[in-house]
Amino acid sequence: MSVLVFTENWDGKFKKQSFELISYGAKVADMLGTSMVALSIGNVADDELKKLGGYGAKKILNLKNDLLNNLDSQAYTATIAEIAQKEGAKVIVIANNNMGKSIAPRLSVRLKAAIGSGVSKLPISLDPFIVYKRAYSGNAFADVALKTDIKIITLAQNSFDLAETANNAIIENVSVNIDAALVKTQVKDVQKQTGKLLLTDAEIVVSGGRGMKAPDNWGPLEELAKQLGAATACSRPVSDEGWRPHEEHTGQTGKIVAPNLYIAVGISGATQHLAGISSSKYIVAINTDKDAPIFEAAQYGIVGDAAKVLPKLIDAVKEVKSR
Amino acid sequence: MKILVCISNVPDTTTKVKFTDNNTKFDSTGVQWVINPWDELALTRALELKDNTSTGIQSVTVAHVGHTSAEPTIRKALAIGADDAIRVNAEPTDAYQVAAQLAEAIKDGQFDIILCGIESSDFNGSTVGSMLAEFLSYPSVSAVSGLNIENGEAIITRDIDGGKETLTVPKPFVAIVQKGIAKEPRIAAMRGIMMARTKVIKVIEPTAVEALTQLVTFEPPQPRAKCIFVDAENPKQLIDLLQNEAKVI
């Protein structure tokens, strides 16, 4: 019996979310009185793999196979299913991100394992096995019982604190036989923006809405983001108008984010927007309308015009940083 | 070539979410039901592709698992432009059960492209589309933000961290779509609403499938502390609070 954690890598490197997953998996293994096994697929160097041990991975399975260079949902599912069976995994933990969403549901059918997706806490109980997950787009949470012998959990990002432990992990190289005919995804072209902080990785997000008035007014908002080491985002009307790219749209139908700090500038706070940001640890709102619903979701607020407030805020951040 | 769009029937996104029966049931009193927003975008893209005759799309069908109470939502999809509909006459209990019912209903392989929204706005599972693909042993592509047909081949754009990939998979396949797949959902015109009345909704009786999960209870989100207002002339105070009280910068 074991808890299996699948950790994705980005060009051979792990991210904070990988360590969150490992920390979470280690805790679940503790609860079950078993040990945690991490699975890495791709070209990751041993010293990078070893980092997973610092968060509680006892055994790290290192799987390299050129057929898995691109994400093919069927090939990945078959691979992880085989490893899970070999390791006697009772709980499989996967990130609730693009890759996790491509694999975990298929794995659920393959292994006939109940899935709890977008889970943001440790299991509430083990027997029955109950998980806590997002529901109604952040307007509620649901306690859901996973009724099968094997369970799959996809963990929401930034929902679990890192837990460092003594590192005594062993790395084991593993291989699986993948039928090349099974790999049906043919990637023709990859377009990557480099050097830009990703919205889903950012601990701080600065987001603009219609209150910014025009696409040309984004300069100060980007400057504030730069000063704070934050990613930029926007509300739906802004991306619909084409003021900002759709990848920046946060909200129910856009990206769901959960940073430590979300600064909403000129965003009124429609239910659909709040649905995408409600898991943020702190929300700051800057808006001209003191009755805007965004202030009900925010812990800190400034009633004022973005064009006037942002420059002052930038100066204040610069001053603090220069101290 | 035939497209199937799977649709979920969800409370309007502005609904004030409340529960009854000791927090185990969604309170549907006075609730407006709509097509799940991502499914609506999927349907819009399917119809755009059909409108372009060079794609060779012959028809767009919608499928839903639910009772007759969902028929107004299905009719809306038909009014927007879907040609016909399939309804599996079962209470949707969890993603596994819904995906299994859909798989059973379309296992004859009549659809070349199956579109599902990335998640439903009520259960936020992001699971049905990929599960359906696994049941049918079809390829699936998630996080799809673009779909085109060129020379009979589907060209798919999927979002990856910090970028996009352009890829192909052989038909039949399932594409799980998100923001970007279509600009704005198509709205039903009067002519469409009239025509929808006579379009066929094929009702299929369910197969025996057990759900793998069970809802125990709903919980309202933790209430947030009241907003602390900072003077617009003195944003320095805000930075001070973020640094020393919240400790997030």
Q: What is the ipTM of this complex?
A: 0.96
**pLDDT of A195 strictly over 80:** no
β-sheet bridge partners, residue B218 = A142
> Per-residue confidence at A106, pLDDT binned at 50, 70, 90?
very high
Q: Which of B11, B179, B249 sits opposite A249 (nearest CB)?
A: B179
CA B184, CA A241: separation in Å to the nearest integer?
A: 11
- Could you tell me which residues come within 8 angstroms of residue A107 by beta carbon, excluding any fewer than 6 positions away? A77, A80, A81, A84, A92, A94, A113, A115, A152
**pLDDT of A194 strictly over 90:** no
Q: Which of B38, B122, B183 sits opposite A136 (nearest CB)?
A: B122
Chain B positions touching A240 (Cβ under 8 A) are 183-184
Q: How large is the C-alpha radius of gyration of chain A?
A: 21
* A200-224 mean pLDDT: 96
- Across chain A, the runs of DSSP E, i.e. the strands, are 2-7, 35-41, 59-63, 89-95, 114-119, 125-126, 129-135, 140-146, 151-155, 170-174, 186-192, 204-208, 231-234, 261-265, 282-287, 300-303
- Across B8-162, the runs of DSSP E, i.e. the strands, are 9-11, 19-20, 25-26, 33-35, 59-65, 84-88, 113-117, 140-150, 153-160
Search chain A and give the residue with CA nearest B166.
A189
CA A41, CA A12: separation in Å to the nearest integer?
A: 10
Tens of pLDDT, residue by residue over A27-62, are 999 999 999 999 999 999 999 999 999 999 999 999
Chain B positions touching A140 (Cβ under 8 A) are 17, 19, 218-221
- DSSP codes joined into one string, B173-191: EEEEE-TTSSSS-----HH
Is the CB of residue A4 less than 8 Å from the CB of residue A93?
yes
Give the mutation candidate from A97, A139, A151 for the B interface (greatest B CB count, under 10 A): A139
Q: Compute the C-alpha angle A56/A58/A63, nearest 5°.
A: 110
Tens of pLDDT, residue by residue over A122-155, are 999 999 999 999 999 989 999 999 999 999 999 9
Q: Pick B2-213's CATH classification: 3.40.50.720, 3.30.1330.10, 3.40.50.300, 3.40.50.620.
A: 3.40.50.620
Name the token pair of A294. 């965004």
A2-182: CATH topology is Rossmann fold (3.40.50)
Closest approach of chain A CAs to the CA of B198, in angstroms?
32
Residue with token string 């309804």: B87
Quote the crossing angle between the two packed helices A306-322 and B236-244, to the nearest 10°.
50
Chain A positions touching B227 (Cβ under 8 A) are 285, 295-296, 298-301
Contact B242 A282 (CB under 8 A): yes
Chain B positions touching A301 (Cβ under 8 A) are 227-230
CA A305, CA A289: separation in Å to the nearest integer?
A: 9
**pLDDT of A246 strictly over 90:** no
Chain B positions touching A291 (Cβ under 8 A) are none
Residue spans per domain, chain B: 2-213
Chain B positions touching A188 (Cβ under 8 A) are 155, 166-168
Residue A53, judged by CB atoms within 10 A of its CB (0-12, 13-18, 19+), counts as buried
Give the mutation candidate from B27, B132, B161 for the A interface (greatest A CB count, under 10 A): B161
Contact B232 A228 (CB under 8 A): no
Search chain A and give the residue with CA nearest B167.
A187
Cα torsion A116, A122, A125, A131 to 10°: value is -20
The whole-number pLDDT of residue A322 equals: 85
* A249-260 mean pLDDT: 92
Contact A185 B96 (CB under 8 A): no
> Per-residue confidence at A193, pLDDT binned at 50, 70, 90?
confident
* A99-116 mean pLDDT: 98
CB interface of A with B, residues 157-216, below 8 Å: 184-194, 196, 198, 200-201, 203-204
- Read off the pTM: 0.95
Q: Pick from B50, B238, B245: which is nearest to A228 by CA? A: B238
Search chain B and give the residue with CA nearest A201.
B161
Cα torsion A301, A306, A309, A311 to 10°: value is 140
Q: How many CB atoms lie within 10 A of CB A23?
A: 23
What are the start and end residues of each CATH 3.40.50.1220 domain in chain A? 204-322
The whole-number pLDDT of residue A28 equals: 98
* A252-259 mean pLDDT: 91
Search chain A and give the residue with CA nearest B99.
A109
Contact A308 B232 (CB under 8 A): yes
Chain B positions touching A305 (Cβ under 8 A) are 232
Search chain A and give the residue with CA nearest B165.
A190
Search chain B and give the residue with CA nearest A255.
B179
Three-state SS at B193: helix
Give the mutation candidate from A253, A289, A317 for the B interface (greatest B CB count, under 10 A): A253
The whole-number pLDDT of residue A233 equals: 97
Q: How many CB atoms lie within 10 A of CB B229?
A: 16
Closest approach of chain A CAs to the CA of B248, in angstroms?
6
Pairing of strands B213-219, A140-146: antiparallel
Q: Which of A117, A135, A283 sits opposite B218 (nearest CB)?
A: A135
Distance of CA A300 to the CA centre of its chain: 25
Pairing of strands B25-26, B19-20: antiparallel
Is the CB of residue A122 less than 8 Å from the CB of residue A24?
yes
pLDDT tens per residue across all 249 residues of chain B: 999 999 999 999 889 999 999 999 999 999 999 999 999 999 999 999 999 999 999 999 999 999 999 999 999 999 999 999 999 999 999 999 999 999 999 999 999 999 999 999 999 999 999 999 999 999 999 999 999 999 999 999 999 988 899 999 999 999 999 989 998 899 999 999 999 999 999 999 999 999 999 999 999 888 888 999 999 999 999 999 999 999 999
CB interface of A with B, residues 125-144, below 8 Å: 128, 130, 132-144
3-state SS of B196-242 is HCCCCEEEECCCCCCCCEEEEEEECCCCCCCCEEECCCCCHHHHHHH
Residue with token string 């925010």: A298
- DSSP codes joined into one string, B94-138: -HHHHHHHHHHHHTT---SEEEEES--TTT----HHHHHHHHHT-
Determine the straight-line distance between the first and last CA of chain A, rounded to whole angstroms. 53
In single-letter form, the type of residue at position B95 comes to A
Contact A278 B232 (CB under 8 A): no
**Mean pLDDT across chain A:** 95
CA B12, CA B122: separation in Å to the nearest integer?
A: 10
Q: Pick A204-322's CATH classification: 1.10.540.10, 3.40.190.10, 3.40.50.1220, 3.30.930.10.
A: 3.40.50.1220
CA B82, CA B61: separation in Å to the nearest integer?
A: 6
Q: Pick from B97, B76, B96, B71: which is nearest to B86 by CA? A: B71
**pLDDT of A280 strictly over 90:** yes
Q: Pick from B191, B124, B94: which is nearest to A114 by CA? A: B94
